[in-house]
Amino acid sequence: GQQVMQIPQYQHVQEGEDFTTYCNSSTTLSNIQWYKQRPGGHPVFLIQLVKSGEVKKQKRLTFQFGEAKKNSSLHITATQTTDVGTYFCAGRVIYNQGGKLIFGQGTELSVKP
Amino acid sequence: GAVVSQHPSRVICKSGTSVKIECRSLDFQATTMFWYRQFPKQSLMLMATSNEGSKATYEQGVEKDKFLINHASLTLSTLTVTSAHPEDSSFYICSASLPRGMNEQYFGPGTRLTVT
């Protein structure tokens, strides 16, 4: 079945260092979404990318969607302790009668002050 | 806007009993709601898609008779875990999509179910 693989599973960085998580799909995606889940919390929507090669920025966060719409990345510049949490990508696969959002395994980010 | 609530936040039940979890969209009408299960340190596993006024669509491997889903109104979906067993203990999260398109999902705070 369709899978969305996310790497790395864990990332420990020093505050101020950059961080990147990668998401790869076995199937072409109609769009990809990114979520952040703080420890003990629920996922919160960050952004959605739809177009091939799309790049979007939110302050220190940069999101990219690959040309083939099969991969995506989230890059955080100069991490802060508030960035701690697990980042999930979720790719939307369209079927004849609808679509399904498939979540990656998530990348848990810890930031050492 | 786009707030989703879940009730209860935590529930402990005995093996063999049934537990109902409610998911409500507080400030918008959700034609589609989703139920997920999340194990510790793991990703979200979609269990079923709940459409208002129709039967839920279950993912492969999810028992329909065990996890009963009812989406009776545009703001309420319920998940009933029937004849619960300890292996059903998990974190159950619902989410809802805005009607304008199946775009971002807004998640409820989740329900921690413990079956003893």
- pLDDT band for A10, please (50, 70, 90 cuts): very high
Cβ–Cβ of A101/B105 closer than 8 Å?
Answer: yes
Chain A's closest residue to B102, CA to CA, is A99
Predicted pLDDT of residue B84: 96
> Which residues of B are less than 8 Å from A42 in CB distance?
93, 107-110
Residue with tokens 């395994």: A105
The greatest distance separating any two alpha carbons of chain B, rounded to the nearest whole angstrom, comes to: 42
Chain A residues near any Cβ of chain B (below 8 Å):
1, 31, 33, 35, 41-45, 48, 88, 92, 98-106, 108
pLDDT tens, position by position, B25-62: 998 888 789 999 998 777 888 899 888 888 898 888 88
pLDDT band at residue A2 using 50, 70 and 90 as cut-offs: low
Number of Cβ atoms within 10 Å of the Cβ of A53? 11
Q: Which of A33, A47, A101 to probe by mutation at the B interface, max B CB count within 10 Å?
A: A101
Predicted pLDDT at A12: 97
pLDDT at B102 over 60: no
Give the 3-state secondary structure of residue A82.
helix
| Range from A40-44, B14-18, B40-44 that averages highest in pLDDT | B14-18
Q: Which of B43, B95, B103 sits opposite A104 (nearest CB)?
A: B43
Burial grade of B33 (CB within 10 A; 0-12, 13-18, 19 or more): buried
Residues of B in contact with A1 (CB under 8 A): 60
Q: Which residues contact B14 (CB under 8 A, 6 or more apart)?
A: B115, B116
Q: Pick the closest to residue B9 from B102, B68, B92 (CA basis).
A: B92
Residues A34-39: what's their mean pLDDT? 92
Q: Minimum mean pLDDT among A49-58, A61-70, B100-109: which range?
A: B100-109
Q: What mean pLDDT value characterizes chain A? A: 92
pLDDT of A99? 65
List pLDDT tens digits, range A61-111.
999 999 999 999 999 999 999 999 999 999 988 766 566 778 899 999 999
What average pLDDT does the segment A41-46 reach? 88
Quote the distance between the C-alpha of residue A15 and its chain's center. 20
